[in-house]
Amino acid sequence: MAETPDGGSPGGADQATEKAQQAKEMAQEKAQGAADQARGRLREQVDERSTQLGDQVASNAGDVRSIAEQLRQQGKDKPAQVVDQVAERGERLGSYLKESDADGILDDVEEFGRQKPWAVALGGLALGLAASRLLKASSRRRYESRRSASNGGRPRAYAGTAAPYPSGATTAGSVPPAEAPSGAYVDER
């Protein structure tokens, strides 16, 4: 058998390349299968959730329509018309959500994003601001609970003293001069 200059057989490099190619193709097929499976689960979830939401919206639209009837009975026709329009739109939305499949809903959302990108950007901005406010509010509570847990639930003391902060202490740790005990640092900015 002939040997190559590196000491191997002439077909060894080709076989290794072929095996590497086969392994690459198998990995790609598995990744594609996993992605398809994830898309299928997402579609199922969107279908299920949209149907539930459609039922809820339609139910709420019926409640709104009964409010419009009560307004009519009270002789308030203009507000009743406005409430009826809201109920009609709610019923249409509920019907759309119940009858549409996941692909249709996602296509409609994509189309809306293409037609009105600024509305999508502003909606994303509003959601981001709401999320940041929520996180800020919860982080303050988490910080307070960690701080009190770290010192055994005891209030913090002034630097260099064992005296706890008085009830009128500010968040920066300084207190009004009238309440500051002797020897405590007071920020008089």
pLDDT tens by residue, 87-114: 999 999 888 888 888 888 888 888 998 9
Report pLDDT digits (tens) over 153-178. Answer: 555 554 555 555 555 555 555 545 55
Two tokens at 171? 């968040």
Nearest to 143 by CA among 174, 164, 171: 171
Q: Which residue has the higher pLDDT, 32 or 158?
A: 32
* Contact residues for 84 (Cβ-Cβ < 8 A; gap 6+): 65, 68
CA distances, 104 to each of 26, 120, 173 (Å): 32, 18, 57
Report pLDDT digits (tens) over 66-83. Answer: 888 888 898 988 988 998
Q: What is the rounded CA–CA span in Å between residue 174 and residue 165?
A: 9
Locate all alpha helices (DSSP H) within the chain, ordered by sequence: 12-73, 77-99, 102-115, 117-150
DSSP 8: S
Q: What is the rounded CA–CA span in Å between residue 181 and residue 170?
A: 15
DSSP 164: B
Q: The pTM is what? A: 0.47
